[in-house]
Amino acid sequence: MVFAKKKWGQNFLVDNNLLDKIIKTINITDNENVLEIGPGQGALSEKLVDVAKSLSMVEIDPDLIKILEVHEKLSGLKIINQDILKVDLNSLKINSPVVVGNIPYNITSPIIFWLIDHIDSWDRAYLMVQKEVAQRLTGKIGTKDYSRVTVMTGLFFDIKICFSISPNVFIPRPKVQSAFISIEKRSGFNKNDVDIKKFSQVVRMAFNQRRKMLRNSLSTLDIDLDTCKIDFKRRPEQLTVDEFIDISNNII
Ligand code: SAM
């Protein structure tokens, strides 16, 4: 057992039933490669290695690397001592991995943006996140959880909450509830159909004034109203991702 380091969000999973539930949920087949972010002491890794074709791990803490390297089920695997946010996934040369991570909650957003940046290099992803964040990522249209992050991630992903997790399954116990989420790529989405800069500008402006009608919050944008089919009397939480795409594609 090592001392958990707060700066790297180290809350280790210690509940065998929960680890089995994660494995059952992600349902890896023996022809799939897995990349685990933040394997820690290997609690999940030692189960992943049994079901995957290959397992690679990226862990920032050199002390944990030493433990992983002598772990009887993990030694000899690809164990990379790096900050995942600095890793170019293509350079790891893992064929279309399933990404799995019980990640530090303070870098949830950067990791999701890392997944967006590497969207062509992985197959599907599963992350443990703070429950409130999971609710916002999966917010239903028209609810208060439907927010800027829902729409920005909704452009690329279809995110679902698999199950909630109590603080009791970790050592040390975090102060918050957690949730395990699945991230699949949005079907039919083609990066080239959307100007992502314009899309994020529209989404940011609309949600910065989420109580206002779009005709007010987006008033400084030059939008081609002949081709854009949106009713600008609506508010941002009433618009689907496709409708935000429609607006951003009609900025002149
Ligand atoms: N997977 C282990 C488990 O479930 O017991 C550990 C989970 S712990 C919440 C998060 C892990 O991510 C720690 O091992 C921590 O050192 C590692 N970590 C933190 N920041 C990281 C980063 N930027 N890149 C890679 N690993 C990181």
Distance 10 CA to ligand 1 centre (A): 6
Number of other CB atoms surrounding residue 32 within 10 Å? 18
Residues 48 and 78 in one domain: yes
Cα first-last separation, the chain: 59
Residues 59 and 175 in one domain: yes
Distance 59 CA to ligand 1 centre (A): 6
Residues 235 and 149 in one domain: no
Q: Domain of residue 241: give its range.
A: 191-249
In ligand 1, which atom is closest to the CA atom of 111? Answer: 23
Residues 167 and 211 in one domain: no
In ligand 1, which atom is closest to the CA atom of 128? Answer: 9
> CA triplet 176, 180, 183: central angle to 5 degrees?
130
Give how many domains the chain has, as a whole number.
2
Q: Are strands 157-165 and 178-185 parallel, antiparallel or unpaired?
A: antiparallel
Integer Cα distance of 41 and 22 in angstroms? 17
CATH code at position 168: 3.40.50.150
Residues 108 and 76 in one domain: yes
Residues 120 and 222 in one domain: no
Q: Is 35 in the pocket of ligand 1 (CB under 6 A)?
A: no
Q: Is 101 in the pocket of ligand 1 (CB under 6 A)?
A: no
Q: Is 111 in the pocket of ligand 1 (CB under 6 A)?
A: no
Distance 229 CA to ligand 1 centre (A): 45
Distance 36 CA to ligand 1 centre (A): 9
Residues 172 and 151 in one domain: yes
Q: Tens digit of pLDDT per residue, the chain (252 long)? A: 678 999 999 999 999 999 999 999 999 999 999 999 999 999 999 999 999 999 999 999 999 999 999 999 998 999 999 999 999 999 999 999 999 999 999 999 999 999 999 999 999 999 999 999 999 999 999 999 999 999 999 999 999 999 999 999 999 999 999 999 999 999 888 878 899 999 999 999 999 999 999 999 999 999 998 899 899 999 999 999 999 999 999 999
Distance 37 CA to ligand 1 centre (A): 7
CATH code at position 199: 1.10.8.100
